[in-house]
Chain A
């Protein structure tokens, strides 16, 4: 497709530093007219930083941006838009209380005798929308249409204003299948007109369906640019995750597990996770693998009652279990250490001591306060056992490092003596030392007979501690690995498999 040798946009040497972090390191991106170019990478790989540098939302620290052969230097998103680069984000950033036509023409309404020419604005809006295959009434409020339509209106506005490069940042994240198709047809119309489209998404199948090429980022560096027709899905996933497939293998002997603790049948929540079956035994670590947005967190939340399941059944040690709130889960000695430590885990202004005993106290009820001495004993013992480093127990937990916060949260849940401990991304954003300690802790808890369900995007980690791994893709369980089958390679194959074995 890119037989045209001249790229419409060519960014070279783009670098961006944040205090202590290299967010982008000498990144190169070439866009050709008429192509859809995917920007891939796990969270934190630098995708959004790159977009922000290209649109001028962030000042870049190094690098040159050439648009149509001329250097541009966007100071802010408005100037990049004027130069020809339009951006549409996942959250529609239009004014939902204005009409579709007003949104399309906001700031540049056609005027007649000094007044806004409503009739012309509506007529022009109809013409523009027709180019996108939409025949809607532009006089209606934007909010009266679906998110998909609003997205397309946003795209139309961006294209009208800029017209050379269109950046779509996760435009399909909240759309259903048919709406995604509609979006794709719009994108195809645009590329047919010679626009270059940058497409950012976590959905690999969508990348394969619509994109021509992909640039893959990892840790702020470009690890490759590929024509999608020439690579396998496995190769892309490998590039994204950066795993040496041969290196790590499942080198543990087969582990003995105990009785079935939690048994799920047809368990699921509409719009979050499709029904699945799962058995978790005592003394077992069930790993959950999958790309971002594959449904790992949703599965954890459904079991814990944070987003209660609406179908299927659960049995705890054989007896039926109905969990609709975290309190019920906790009462049944199920614990969840959530993925987003800051907003769902820690209570920042409370002391480490209070954070550690919070769940235990909540389960006991407000009228049965833990004795001061008991609190001290619990907090001290976990600080020691988990090697939480702090000045003293009165320190507000928000002042601790990520790793120590995570350990304190683990202490909170261990203090409730759970029989099932669910860990959602337990090692994200923590330092190497704490990382190793948490993995060792998982192993230790397993040997003590606890059942654990661990969701992680760190494949080697999963391989290291899991006795069983379920693989999720597109909010569906697509595979299960046990015993000697467990290896990073097998995980990646399962994630990437087109329509492979269902669990």
Chain B
């Protein structure tokens, strides 16, 4: 299982390595990690830490996309959950209650999306657009338009604290990803989700409860978004309804796409999506470290992302394969043969 996962994510690992190498070329101290007041400190840690929100979102988004859906509302759900956590904590409750309330809000949002998609059969992109637009408004109502700040040490630790010297958000996203990944792959959930995403009609006729399954994946996406929202709010010790998670749903979708899960649903890999999230964060980090004029930020990001996606496109992969096959006696030829097996027609 580990070996097959490794084979599946090889392209993402290579891309990540290349971008980290690029970072290092631009900024030689990139891999330097040291301990500062009992806290691991360095660019690599930043990539892992800052990648947390998108990594969390990409876990839920991967499952949603595997069912041939999409969830545009996760950024807004982040704003809602952050606002809920901040209001509850400033109301005097403990940080655990605040986090549970935020998760509850996220679950509710996910349930809403799931019902629109699975029961009312509204196209996912339209169904989740509703909450994408309305959700930020709801968050603004909760915070009354201002940044609602808090200083509860428990809640703050979720964003800015450390556990065993490692920033808490890193533990959170790795933990959530491991939990979801384990549940999905150790149970039959992954198989049923993939079947539903590839051919929902066949899946239903095979006895899969596609409706419940769809609601469940949107629920998970909502929960992941809620957790991301809490992390982001805890990080700045305040709920910024206007900006928390703004456009982050697009980064999450991008992470899944870079991870190679098709937007048409089906086969998915949470690990690959997480690598996608880290790739995006490394690109962001490279831009920040480059010291280039800000006007180039988006252009550089676009160029890198486009390059990644082009290299991953089936057509280009095929060209690369042809190029390597023709340019000498590489150890290549066996692999593609096994990838597209020829099935012999059984004709007695």
Contact = CB atoms under 8 A, between A and B. Distances in A.
- The reply to whether A and B meet directly (CB within 8 Å) is yes
A367 B195 CA distance: 16
Contact of B343 (A359, A361, A364, A401): A401
A389 B201 contact: no
23 contacts: A327-B207, A330-B207, A336-B205, A343-B199, A345-B202, A345-B205, A347-B195, A347-B206, A349-B198, A350-B198, A358-B203, A361-B188, A366-B192, A367-B187, A369-B188, A387-B346, A389-B344, A395-B341, A399-B340, A399-B343, A400-B343, A412-B206, A433-B346
A404 B189 CA distance: 27
A327 B209 contact: yes
Interface in B165-207: 186-189, 191-192, 194-195, 198-199, 201-207
Given A349-B267, A350-B195, A358-B195, A404 B343 contact: yes
Contacts of A344: 201-202, 205
B200 to A, nearest CB: 10
Contacts of A209: none
Interface string A379-409: 0000000010111100100011101100000
Contact of B202 (A347, A391, A400, A433): A347
A362 B187 contact: no
A354 B346 CA distance: 21
A455 to B, nearest CB: 15
Interface string B311-348: 00000000000000000000000000000111111111
B208 interface: yes
B341 A326 contact: no
B207 A363 contact: yes
A418 to B, nearest CB: 11
Nearest to A335: B207
A306 interface: yes
B207 A326 contact: yes
Contact of A347 (B189, B203, B207): B203
Contacts of B345: 401, 431
B189 A362 contact: no
A268 to B, nearest CB: 21
B266 interface: yes
A399 B342 CA distance: 8
A364 B197 CA distance: 20
B182 to A, nearest CB: 12
A304 B206 CA distance: 11
A216 to B, nearest CB: 30
A338 interface: yes
Nearest to B1: A372
A260 interface: no
A214 to B, nearest CB: 35
Contact of A366 (B187, B198, B343): B187
Contacts of A412: 206
A434 interface: yes
Nearest to A327: B207
Contacts of B342: 391
A384 to B, nearest CB: 14
A146 B198 CA distance: 35
Contacts of A306: 205
Nearest to B266: A349
The 4 A-B residue pairs whose C-beta atoms are closest, nearest first, are A391-B341, A362-B207, A330-B207, A389-B346
Contact of A403 (B188, B209, B346): B346
Contacts of A345: 202, 205
Contacts of A389: 343-344, 346
A347 B199 contact: yes
Interface in A351-377: 354, 358-359, 361-370
Contacts of A387: 346
B346 A362 contact: no
Interface size on B, as a range, is 20 to 34
Given A344-B205, A370-B188, 11 more contacts: A344-B202, A347-B202, A347-B206, A348-B198, A348-B199, A364-B188, A365-B188, A369-B186, A399-B340, A404-B346, A433-B348
A368 B186 CA distance: 9
B192 A361 contact: yes
A350 B341 contact: no
A343 B201 contact: yes
Interface of B: 186-189, 191-192, 194-195, 198-199, 201-209, 213, 266-267, 340-348
B347 A432 contact: yes
Looking at chain B's contact residues, is the secondary structure mostly helix, strand, loop, or mixed? loop
A400 B191 CA distance: 20
A54 interface: no
B343 A343 contact: no
B209 A368 contact: no
A200 interface: no
A399 B344 CA distance: 10
Contact of A358 (B187, B206, B347): B206
Interface residues of A, number: 44
Contacts of B348: 433
A98 to B, nearest CB: 25
A391 B186 contact: no
A367 B184 CA distance: 9
A304 B204 CA distance: 12
Contact of B347 (A362, A390, A395, A431): A431
A410 to B, nearest CB: 13
A347 B347 contact: no
A412 to B, nearest CB: 7
A122 interface: no
Contacts of B188: 361, 364-370
A368 B189 CA distance: 10
Nearest to B200: A347
Q: Which of A362, A389, A404, A434 has the most CB of B within 10 A?
A: A362
A358 B344 contact: no
Contacts of A359: 206-207
Contacts of B343: 389-391, 395, 399-401, 404
Nearest to A362: B207
Contact of A346 (B189, B199, B204): B199
Contacts of B266: 349
B346 A401 contact: yes
A495 B206 CA distance: 32
B6 to A, nearest CB: 16
B225 to A, nearest CB: 23
Contacts of B347: 431-433
Nearest to B195: A347
Nearest to B213: A366
B206 A362 contact: yes
A412 B341 CA distance: 22
B1 to A, nearest CB: 9
Contacts of A327: 207, 209
A354 B341 contact: no
Q: Which of B191, B201, B344, B345 has the most CB of A within 10 A?
A: B191
Nearest to A431: B347
Nearest to A387: B346
Contacts of A400: 343
A346 B192 contact: no
Nearest to B204: A326
A347 B66 CA distance: 14
A392 B187 CA distance: 23
Interface in A299-350: 304, 306, 326-327, 330, 336, 338, 343-350
A349 B266 CA distance: 7
Contacts of A404: 343, 346
A341 to B, nearest CB: 9
Contacts of B202: 343-347
